[in-house]
Amino acid sequence: MSAKIISIAIQKGGTGKTTTAYALGTGLKKYGMKVLLVDIDPQANLTLGLGHHDSLNTVPKTLYEAIWAVSKEQDYDVKGIIRQTSAGVDLLPSTKHLGASDHELIQVDNRQLVLKSILDQVKEDYDIIIIDTPPKIDNLTINALSASDYYLIPLNAEYFAASGLELLVDTADRVKEHFNPGLECLGVVMNRFNPHKIAMRNMATFAENRLGNLIFQGHIRENVALMEAQMVNQSIFDYMPDSNGAKDFDALTQEVMARLQIPVKTS
Ligand SMILES: Nc1ncnc2c1ncn2[C@@H]1O[C@H](COP(=O)(O)OP(=O)(O)O)[C@@H](O)[C@H]1O
Ligand SMILES: [Mg+2]
Determine if ligand 1 sits within 6 Å of the CB of residue 226.
yes
Round the average pLDDT of the chain to a whole number and report it: 93
At residue 203, the pLDDT reads 80
What pLDDT, in 10s, does the model give residues 114-144? 999 999 999 999 999 999 999 999 999 999 9
Q: How far apart are CA 118 and CA 67, in angstroms?
A: 8
Domain assignment present for residue 232? The answer is yes
Q: What is the CATH number of the domain that holds 124?
A: 3.40.50.300
Atom number in ligand 1 closest to CA 19? 17
Atom number in ligand 1 closest to CA 20? 17
What pLDDT, in 10s, does the model give residues 58-99? 557 899 999 999 999 999 999 999 999 999 999 999 999 999
Residue nearest to atom 25 of ligand 1 (CA): 227
Domain count within the chain: 1
Query: Residue 39: nearest ligand to its CA?
Result: 2
Domain assignment present for residue 267? The answer is no
Phi-psi region of 233 (alpha: psi -120 to 50; beta: other; left: phi over 0): left
What is the domain extent for residue 74? 4-259
215 pLDDT above the threshold of 90: yes
What pLDDT, in 10s, does the model give residues 158-167? 777 777 888 9
Domain assignment present for residue 197? The answer is yes
Domain assignment present for residue 265? The answer is no
At residue 119, the pLDDT reads 98
How is the beta sheet containing 83-84 ordered, strand by strand? 83-84, 90-92, 35-39, 128-132, 4-8, 150-156, 184-191
Q: Which is more confidently placed, 132 or 212?
A: 132
Q: Taking residues 248-266, what's their average pLDDT?
A: 92
At residue 222, the pLDDT reads 95
C-alpha 12 to ligand 2 mean position (Å):
9
At residue 210, the pLDDT reads 81
Domain assignment present for residue 40? The answer is yes
Domain assignment present for residue 264? The answer is no
At residue 204, the pLDDT reads 82
Q: Report the alpha-carbon angle 18-206-223, nearest 5.
A: 35
Atom number in ligand 1 closest to CA 45? 18
Tell me if the pTM is above 0.85: yes
55 pLDDT above the threshold of 90: no
At residue 1, the pLDDT reads 79
199 pLDDT above the threshold of 70: yes
Determine if ligand 1 sits within 6 Å of the CB of residue 222.
yes
At residue 59, the pLDDT reads 58
At residue 54, the pLDDT reads 64
